[in-house]
Amino acid sequence: MNALDELKAKYLGGIAQAGDEAALEELRLAALGKKGEISLKMRELGQMSAEERQTTGAALNVLKSEIDAALRAKKAALADAALDARLAAEWLDVTLPGRPRPAGTIHPVSQVMDEVTAIFADMGFDVAEGPQIESDWYNFDALNIPPEHPARQEFDTFFMARDPADPRPPHVLRTHTSPVQIRAMEAKGAPIRVIAPGRVYRMDMDQTHAPMFHQVEGMAIGRDISMANLKWTLEEFCKAFFEVPNVELRFRASHFPFTEPSAEVDIRCSWEGGQLKIGEGDSWLEILGSGMMQPKVLAAGGIDPNEWQGFAFGMGIDRIAMLKYGIPDLRAFFESDLRWLKHYGFAPLDLPTVFGGLSK
């Protein structure tokens, strides 16, 4: 056996016996590294005759290729063995049920806004939206709110900054969603039925008020719309929203600049052990304001009040959410943590309808 055969037997045998990649790397360096035995043999070719160089060089190249192939094959075999061992140790039973993941919940304000929208949609009302920063005209003038009205004073409304040299009235953060009704009348004309849910802003803050809260206002305009239509609409809404078979509403004469006549609406209820029950008892609870639309408001929306008439109403979404779900403090909507939301939150698509039951 010549020297090359001995090297071949030595390294191929070592490769076959290598137990891990570290041992395999040591063999590679010993054979094929810069100072490896085969590399040193390749350097000796320059000292040989042309005939010897040709014969020995070819043999060394064959040996180098065989060792390199053996190294690659052994490395692949070690990797396969390691993977097999890992799979055996880390097997997974795919028939096991999945790990439960915490589900998110819907905020009560979003839930109630969806409920209100679904109920009025069943009665044929569209949903209208508008900007939260409004012009003085849309927020006040178009709604027949005179300059001396308290709502137009700085202590009740958030006014936007305007250049002192600009004579125009400043824009405001809308104090109600009624401006959306004006925009809807301008865009669609009459007849029309819309609700306008959304955020509104007033400079107020206590247990039952917040500087930012949510309202839904609605209107229906037709040639023969009357207070009777308004009463039926609100009764059907309250039955569906509070999920009771019967309600009794009381209309008290009031004054709003944008309706004439105007009425505060109370609902019959009872308080037993601190628990509110709608539709029964000897107590009354105010829930919204309403009335027949003022002719000047119709005209501001581009509708002829001599041909058309309509009713309008408005209620606080936060307030009716508190009443229905027993939330004691309005500030909790904005200041509470995830524990509060977990208690009062809702699963998606849990919406009552005017036809009764829940829609899924």
Specify the pTM: 0.66
Phi, psi values for residue 57, rounded to 5°: -60, -45
Taking the C-alpha atoms of residue 196 and residue 210, their distance in angstroms, rounded to an integer, is: 20
Which residues 6+ apart lie within 8 Å of 251 measured at CB? 227, 231, 263, 264, 265, 290
- H/E stretch holding 280 reads none
CATH code linked to domain 108-344: 3.30.930.10
- The number of residues in the chain equals 360
Taking the C-alpha atoms of residue 204 and residue 156, their distance in angstroms, rounded to an integer, is: 7
Three-state helix/strand/coil letters over 236-263: HHHHHHHCCCCCCEEEEEEEECCEEEEE
Residue 260 labelled as part of a binding site: yes
| Identity of the residue numbered 156 | D
Tokens of 65: 């290729």
For residue 176, what pLDDT is reported? Answer: 93
Phi, psi values for residue 102, rounded to 5°: -60, 130
Task: Give the β-pairing of 126-127 and 192-201.
Answer: parallel
For residue 360, what pLDDT is reported? Answer: 42
For residue 204, what pLDDT is reported? Answer: 73
Average pLDDT, consecutive stretches of 10 residues, N- to C-terminus, the chain (360 residues): 75 84 84 79 77 78 84 88 84 82 78 93 95 93 84 75 85 93 96 95 73 92 96 95 92 94 94 82 92 96 96 93 75 56 57 51
Q: Give the up-direction half-sphere exposure of residue 25: CA atoms within 13 A in the CB hemisphere.
A: 3
Taking the C-alpha atoms of residue 277 and residue 12, their distance in angstroms, rounded to an integer, is: 90
In the chain, where are the structural domains located?
Answer: 3-90, 108-344
User: What are the distances in angstroms from CA 329 to CA 212, 318, 319, 322?
Assistant: 14, 10, 10, 8
